[in-house]
Amino acid sequence: MSQGKEIILAPSILSADFCRLGEEMNALEEAGLKWIHIDVMDGAFVPNISIGPPVVECLRKNSNLFFDTHLMVDRPERYVDDFAKAGSDLICVHAEATVHLERTCARIDDLGAKPAVALNPHTPLEMIRYLLPQLHMVLIMSVNPGFGGQAFIPFSLQKIRELRAMIDEAGARTLIQVDGGVTPENVADLVDAGADVLVSGSSFFKFPPYDKRHEMFLFLAENRFAQDGM
């Protein structure tokens, strides 16, 4: 990649076939994917319920993918130990869901997982400014969390740009992840704005084969760098 920056595509498990999750994980690995984005919903923080630690534990047994675990859960500090034990590599909690965000992130780090924080579309970046040095990743939600297949909220692009500037100014190495309504049409703009990790659910799983879809996403991301001459 011309800029030397690695772009990661993280397919969202929410759009995978839940009847054959193990096979889906294997297919992703065979297709060259490195990450799986695991959406955990509690029916309280978001109006939907998905999967919990036992499923993560089961998938872990047969997968070498990087388990990027997005906890859309109220008071996530109650569950970070369980997800770390189940095999999550990264645990992402919502800033809106926990009062003691710094403590929760420090706990995730102590457990040997990578700490990350997600921000709902309306939540200001100021929530995480002072945490940046200790965060592996910040997740910019570009839809209101709870469901796959929603439309990208346009102001998220400006938010990514501002976060990129904030991270650079802090001299931090924090990754920027974007989740919600990510498609081949907007992927170049997202990377151009500063995104490192692109989550894609419906726009990925509905268009097999996975290796070709993965290649297409990455090609579009890389092409934008080439146009910029970087």
User: Where do contacts with ligand DX5 occur on this chain (CB under 6 A)?
Assistant: 12, 14-15, 37, 39, 70, 143, 145-150, 179-182, 199-203
Residue tagged active-site, from 39, 68, 89, 196: 39
In this structure, the number of other CB atoms found within 10 A of the CB of residue 16 comes to: 20
Cβ proximity to Zn ion, 10 vs 218, nearer residue: 10
178 touches 201 (CB < 8 A): no
Q: What is the C-alpha to C-alpha distance for residues 75 and 66, in angstroms, rounded to an integer? A: 24
Shorter beta-carbon distance to ligand DX5: residue 71 or 86: 71
Subset of residues 169 to 188 that bind Zn ion, contact rule: CB under 5 A: 179
From ligand DX5, Zn ion, none, which one binds at residue 50 (CB under 5 to 8 Å depending on kind)?
A: none
**In this structure, which amino acid lies at residue 1?**
M
Is 82 among the catalytic positions?
no
Instruction: Kindly state the smallest distance separating residue 109's Cβ from ligand DX5, in Å.
Output: 22
d(Cα 87, Cα 68) in Å, to the nearest integer?
Answer: 10
Compute φ and ψ for 107, nearest 5 degrees. -65, -45
In the complex, least distance from residue 45 CB atom to Zn ion, rounded to whole angstroms: 12
Query: Of the candidates 7, 10, 33, 39, which one interacts with Zn ion according to CB under 5 A?
Result: 39
> Does the annotation count 179 as an active-site position?
yes
Q: How far is the CB of 16 from ligand DX5 (least distance, A)?
A: 10
Reported for 192-196, long-range contacts at CB under 8 A and 24+ positions apart, including other chains, are 192/224, 192/228, 193/157, 193/158, 193/160, 193/161, 193/164, 194/160, 194/161, 194/163, 194/164, 194/167, 195/7, 195/140, 195/160, 196/5, 196/6, 196/7, 196/8, 196/137
> In this complex, which beta carbon is closest to ligand DX5, that of residue 160 or of residue 199?
199
| Catalytic hit among 110, 179, 192, 196 | 179
- Do you know the residue count of the chain? 230
What residues numbered 62-81 form the site for Zn ion, per CB under 5 A? 70
Instruction: Select the residue whose beta carbon is closest to ligand DX5 and give its number.
Output: 201
Residue with token string 């675990």: 69
- Minimum Å gap between C-beta 114 and Zn ion is 16
Q: Which residues bind Zn ion (CB under 5 A)?
A: 39, 70, 179
Catalytically active residues are: 39, 179
